[in-house]
Structure 1
Amino acid sequence: MNTLSGGTQSLLTNAGWYPGRTIFTIGYRFALWKDGYPWFSVVEEFLREFGSLRVTLPKHGQTDTFHFNVAEAVDDVDASWVQENYAERIGTNKLCVIGQAHNDYLLLFMSDAGKVYGGYDDYLCFIADSGVEAIEALCQNSPVQEIPERE
């Protein structure tokens, strides 16, 4: 498992996380299935530990949030946009919604390889190689890599 910095661990702890946390994911699996999303073991492992968390962090003198409430996130997006536009631009047809960031503007999703991406309308970015690394990147406001639109 990847290591989280002390600052990130503190933010997660304030959100209700603790080492060894495990929750049931069947509700998430159902919400994703209803919208036609695939389910991967890497998504299940990630959501089992971090599902339902809503993290609040300071950002430029204000607060920012991200969460891993899948049922809430899938209600705010057109599944075909993720499965067609975003998947095509990334080069995979295997994407699964895991939450939202930047006060719910940025949809978070994970590939079957565990890579985490973010999208908002035509904007798409690569965040990190794993869910834990994505949490660290979001908490530390790390730069992301924008993925251009296909022509």
Structure 2
Amino acid sequence: MTLFTKETEEVLRASGWSPGRQIDTGPWREALERNGFQWNAVADRFLMEFGGLVVDISGPGITSAREPFELDPMLADGEDDRFAEWADVIGESIAPVGELDSGRYFLGMSESGDLYLVADWLASFGKIPDALESLILGKSPVPVDAE
């Protein structure tokens, strides 16, 4: 049994993923915590399986364009204040997990497992596996009300 649709699984496999994949996230966690980021166990588990993937997609999607993304939390280094501000809004930490659209947006994961688009605004792709489906198939994230 797979967690993903056939198309999403094919894209992930072409990007280097396989079921049960495990990588060491320790160096990322240590570097980012030193630089002011909050880390959480959910982001750590996610990155153990999907960290390091570069998903090179483009074209029309279901409700938005399909955009490339890279799951490397170091790409958000220097943005700890942005992540902390949005964490205050939602009431839980958001750890960086990568970037979307060649650095136009950052990706972060909350303690409760929501995958967020992090920018001057915040939007949720939902929880894994649905969040990866949304990213790969081109489904718009749901904006978070900042008030």
Q: Same fold (TM over 0.5)?
A: yes
Equivalent position amino acid for 1:95 in 2 = I
**Stretches (4+) displaced over 3 A:** 60-63
What SS class does the counterpart of residue 99 from structure 2 fall into? strand
Partner of 1:40: 40
Name whichever structure is richer in strand by fraction: 1
CA distance in 1, matches of 2:76, 2:9: 23
CA distance in 2, matches of 1:110, 1:142: 17
RMSD (Å) for aligned C-alpha atoms: 2.2
**Partner of residue 129 from structure 1, selected from 127, 130, 135:** 127
CA distance in 2, matches of 1:97, 1:142: 21
**Partner of residue 76 from structure 2, selected from 73, 77, 81:** 73
Equivalent position amino acid for 1:56 in 2 = D
CA distance in 1, matches of 2:131, 2:66: 18
Please give the residue correspondences for 1:45-124 in structure 2 after superposition, counting only pairs within 5 Å.
45-60=45-60, 64-75=67-78, 78-84=79-85, 86-90=86-90, 92-121=91-120, 123-124=121-122
How far off is 1:30 after superposition? 1.5
What SS class does the counterpart of residue 17 from structure 2 fall into? coil
CA distance in 2, matches of 1:57, 1:43: 23
CA distance in 1, matches of 2:112, 2:68: 25
Equivalent position amino acid for 2:106 in 1 = L
CA distance in 1, matches of 2:111, 2:92: 9
Give the TM-score normalised by structure 2. Answer: 0.87
Give the TM-score normalised by structure 1. Answer: 0.84
Report if aligned partners of 1:83, 1:93 keep a CA contact under 8 Å in 2.
no
Partner of 2:140: 143
Taking only the aligned residue pairs, the percentage that are identical comes to 28
Over residues 7-38 of structure 1, what are the superposed CA-to-partner deviations in whole Å (9 max), with x where a residue is unaligned? 11111111111111111111111122122222
Structure 1: which 5+ runs fail to align? Answer: none
Change (3 A) 1:2 1:104: farther
How far off is 1:2 after superposition? 7.5
Q: Give the number of equivalent residue pairs.
A: 144
Report if aligned partners of 2:66, 2:135 keep a CA contact under 8 Å in 1.
no
Change (3 A) 1:63 1:138: closer
Equivalent position amino acid for 1:51 in 2 = G
CA distance in 2, matches of 1:9, 1:80: 34
CA distance in 2, matches of 1:108, 1:6: 24
